[in-house]
Amino acid sequence: MNYADLRREYISKEFDIKDTDKNPFVQFENWFAEAMNAGTEDVNAFILSTCSKEGKPSSRIMLLKGVDDKGFVFYTNYLSRKSKELIENPNGFILFFFKELHRQIRIEGIIEKVTKEESKAYFDSRPAESRIGAWASIQSSKIESRKELEDKFKKYSEEFSDTEIPLPDYWGGFRLIPDYFEFWQGRENRLHDRICYEKTEGGWNLSRLSP
């Protein structure tokens, strides 16, 4: 395999500051809707990058579960590696890639926990099996075998068979509160269009970046 020979051109329409909304949240919603209409699979999937207090980075795929005027919401186990890193260092980064449209959206900011009420509302909306799975798995912890995980799932399935499945204390949401957006549109000859939004006291400043 010659990895250096793997390449393709991005034939896409122009994306300029004049084409953007002045509000980056609105611009995000516009591109997200276009990605949905283009048939993008797992359109709400994004890469979440975190960093330990020692500066060691890590990344993983997450699913977006909410957007409001404050930021972008996702849910996880608070005992996981990502959660521990966010508690130590709340600076975070999320990246969406819409392959069909040759687009990326980078969003940076501070990540904080959502309220317990928000976490419970989302937790209660999940399928029962997913809620039981949250009880069965202490995310990122070492286990002896898959059977151990399946046995715990069976245990909690029986325990909660005739009762409400409660929200675990160690499970809930985070919200990224952005101070930077970057919208990337692939173009021919690697002359990509990149428009960024930087937060200021007065709102958002827009700039074009060199590809």
Containing H/E element for 197? strand 193-200
User: Residues 28, 34, 39, 45: what is their CA dihedral angle, to the nearest 10 degrees?
Assistant: 0
- Which residue type, as a one-letter code, is found at position 64? L
Q: Considering only CA atoms, which of 29, 61, 175 is closest in space to residue 114?
A: 175
Token digits of residue 103: 């687009």
**Token pair recorded at residue 1:** 């395999």
Concatenate the DSSP letters of all residues of 103-153 into one string: EEEEEEEEEEEPPHHHHHHHHHHS-HHHHHHHHH--TT---S-HHHHHHHH
d(CA 210, CA 199): 20
Residues classed as catalytic = 190
> If residue 51 lies in a helix (H) or strand (E), which one and from where to where?
strand 45-51
- CB-facing half-sphere around the CA of 63: CA atoms within 13 A: 5
